[in-house]
Amino acid sequence: MIMTDTPGRRRRPRKRLVGAALLGVVSSLALVWLIPEAHHAMGPASVSAGARIGWGRTVVIVPPLGTVSADTHASVLDLDLSIGEVDPGSLADAVSSRESRAGLVKDIEDDLRSTALATSVRLLLGGLVIGAIAAGLIAGRTIKTMAAGAAGGVLAIAVAVGFTAATFNVEAFEEPRFTGALERAPQVIAAVDQGVSALDDLRSRYEGLAERLSQLLALVAEPALAPQEDSVAILHVSDIHSNPIGVEITRNLAERFDVSAVLDTGDLTSFGAPIEARIGLLIEEIDVPYLFVPGNHDSRANRAELALIDNVRLLDGDLTSVEGVRILGVADPTFTATNEVSTEEANGEKLERAAEVAGLVARLDPGVLAVHDARQAADSTGLVPLILAGHTHERSFLQGNGSTVMVVGSTGATGLGSFLVETELDYEAEIIYFQGGEAVSYDYISFDGLGGDFTIERSKIDAPPEAEPRPTTTTSP
C-alpha cells in the first residue's frame, strides 16, 4: 500500500516544533536563575551580575551594608548586582578627593558597560542551552525540536533583556528599598538618593547608576555621611501599647536618623492602668522632644502622668513648631480600653467632633494635623497639607482633596502580646522629611521581630491633587 502525505500529517511536526519553541520560552525564563552570574571588575571592587524572574527590580547587594533595590524597569527580569571583593587601599585613594571620586564614577561607568554586555551574552547563551535541553527532554530528542527549543529560549531572553535595557530608569533610586543593619541605614539611603533628582535627561543610564554605586562604595571607606542634611526629620510612631521593645526601637531610630522630634499619635499604653505610665521612664531616655497625641487606650490618668515627663509634650488642641514645621495635635476624645464605651459609639463620637477639629485647623493654620484616628480629621481634608494618624495598626497613604493622609502601622506590633508570645506582625514607623515646612519624602521602616533586619522604603511625597470646586446654584428672582 502506498502512503500519501496528508495536511494532517504535515501539521503534526509543525505543532511539535511550535510546542518545543514554547517550551524553550517558558523554561528559559523560569530557570534563568540557573544561568551562572557574570563576574567583572568595577573600579576598586569586583561585581557579580545575574538575573532571575521577577517584577523589574534592580537589587544591589553591598556587604556588609545590606541590600538596596528599586523598581527600575518594565520587564519580567530582576537584575542582581553583588559587590564582592574590595581593595581597601585603592578604594581609600578613589574617595580621597573630588577629582578622584569623579574618576571612580568614570571607571565604574566603563566597567558597567562591559558587565552589562557580558551579562547579556551569558543570559542569551544560557537561554539557548536551557531551551534546547527542555525541548529535548519533553518534546523529543531530535535535532529539530532541540533547535526549536533553543530558538525559543534565546528569543525569550532577548526580548526580556531588550525591554530591560529600553525601559531602565535610574531615577527609580529616588525611592529605594533598603534591607540590612539599622546602624548603616540612614547613610545607605542617603547615598543612593543623593543627587538623583539633578540627573539630566542627556546623561547616560550607565553614568547615573555608576554614581549610585560609587556612593555605596564610598560608604565602605567613609561610613559617616549625614543623611538629609537640608531637611527636618520627624519620626512618626503610634500604637506602642506598653511594649518596651517599641519604645527601644523608637529611641534607636531617633538616634540613628538624627531626627528633630518624635511624634506619637497615641495608644502609648493599653489598659489605662496607672502602672503603665511608667513606660515614661523609657521615653525619658529619648534625647529629642516627644510630641504625644493620646489615643483611645490612653486613660486620662496616664495622659496626665506622661505629660509630667520633661521631654514629653502632650498635644490636645495645641499647636507646636519643630524647626518651622507647625504641628497641631488633637487627642482622641474617647477611652475604650475598659469597654464602658463600645467601638461603634466611640467611632460615632469622633466623627461628630470632626467639625470641631476642622475649626481648630482653620483657626491655627498648621502644616501638619496629628490625630490618633483618621476619623477625627474627616472634615479637615483640604484645610491642612498633611494628616498623620495611627489606630488601625495598618499603614496607608492616601492623597486627595488637597491633603495627604498617612497612617502608620503599630510601632509596638501587638503591644505586650508581641513581647510575650511569638507574632508575625512587624514593628513599624516612618520618618518624614520636611523642607520649608512642607513634607517632601518619607522613609517607611519595618522591623521583623527581635534580631531581624530593618526594611526601609524611601518614597517621595508629591503635592496632593486639589479638590474640585463645588458647584454653586443660583435662583432667579
- The CATH number of the domain holding residue 360 is 3.60.21.10
Residue ranges of alpha helices (H) inside 74-142 are: 88-94, 98-138
Residue with cell 551594608: 65
Residues 35 and 60 in one domain: yes
> Is residue 423 included in any domain, yes or no?
yes
Amino acid code (one letter) for 231: S
* Burial bucket for residue 423 (CB in 10 Å: 0-12, 13-18, 19+): middle
Q: Are 62 and 146 in contact (CB under 8 A)?
A: no
138-142, 171-175, 326-330, 442-446: segment of lowest average pLDDT: 138-142
Q: State phi, psi for 223 to the nearest 5 degrees.
A: -85, 10
> Is residue 8 included in any domain, yes or no?
no
Residues 104 and 84 in one domain: yes
The secondary element (H helix, E strand) that includes residue 218 is helix 205-221
6 or 244: whose pLDDT is higher? 244
Q: What pLDDT sits at residue 430? A: 95
475: pLDDT strictly greater than 50: no
> Is residue 409 included in any domain, yes or no?
yes
If pLDDT is split at 50, 70 and 90, which confidence band does 113 have? confident
140-144, 253-257, 338-342: segment of lowest average pLDDT: 140-144
Max mean pLDDT range (2-16, 77-91, 351-365, 454-468)? 351-365
Alpha-carbon distances, residue 216 vs 61, 102, 209, 220, 229 (angstroms): 10, 14, 11, 7, 18
Residues 166 and 265 in one domain: no
Three-state DSSP state, 6: coil
Q: What pLDDT sits at residue 473? A: 39
Interval 232-249 mean pLDDT: 92
Spatial distance between the Cα atoms of 316 and 330, rounded to a whole number of angstroms: 4
Residues 214 and 283 in one domain: no
The pLDDT > 90 percentage for the chain reads 39
Residues 277 and 424 in one domain: yes
Q: Are 45 and 85 in contact (CB under 8 A)?
A: yes
Spatial distance between the Cα atoms of 192 and 206, rounded to a whole number of angstroms: 14
The per-residue pLDDT for range 37-51, each reduced to its tens digit, is 888 887 777 888 889
Residue 141, Cβ neighbours under 10 Å: how many? Answer: 10
Quote the Cα angle for 407-409-415, to 5°: 135
Residue ranges of alpha helices (H) inside 353-459 are: 354-364, 416-420
The pLDDT > 70 percentage for the chain reads 80
Residues 333 and 259 in one domain: yes
Point out the domain boundary residue: 201, 221, 241. 221
Q: How many residues does the chain have?
A: 477
Residues 192 and 332 in one domain: no
Residues 167 and 272 in one domain: no
Q: What pLDDT sits at residue 182? A: 66
> Is residue 465 included in any domain, yes or no?
no
> Is residue 1 included in any domain, yes or no?
no
80-84, 416-420, 421-425, 459-463: segment of lowest average pLDDT: 416-420
Residues 316 and 197 in one domain: no
Residues 274 and 140 in one domain: no
Residues 277 and 215 in one domain: no
Residues 199 and 310 in one domain: no
Residue ranges of E strands in 256-355: 261-264, 290-292, 312-314, 318-322, 325-330
- The pTM for the full model equals 0.75
Complete DSSP assignment for 180-201: E-GGGHHHHHHHHHTTGGG--T
> Is residue 168 included in any domain, yes or no?
yes
If pLDDT is split at 50, 70 and 90, which confidence band does 139 have? low
Q: Domain count of the chain?
A: 2
Q: Which domain holds residue 280?
A: 232-460
36: pLDDT strictly greater than 80: yes
Spatial distance between the Cα atoms of 374 and 407, rounded to a whole number of angstroms: 8
Of 310, 192, 189, 204, nearest in space to 256 by CA: 189
Interval 7-20 mean pLDDT: 68
Three-state DSSP state, 24: helix
Quote the Cα angle for 128-39-76, to 5°: 50
DSSP letter assigned to residue 12: H
Q: State phi, psi for 234 to the nearest 5 degrees.
A: -125, 125
> Is residue 2 included in any domain, yes or no?
no
> Is residue 334 included in any domain, yes or no?
yes
Point out the domain boundary residue: 194, 221, 248. 221
Residue 23: partners with Cβ closer than 8 Å, 6 or more residues away: 131, 134, 135, 138, 139, 149, 152
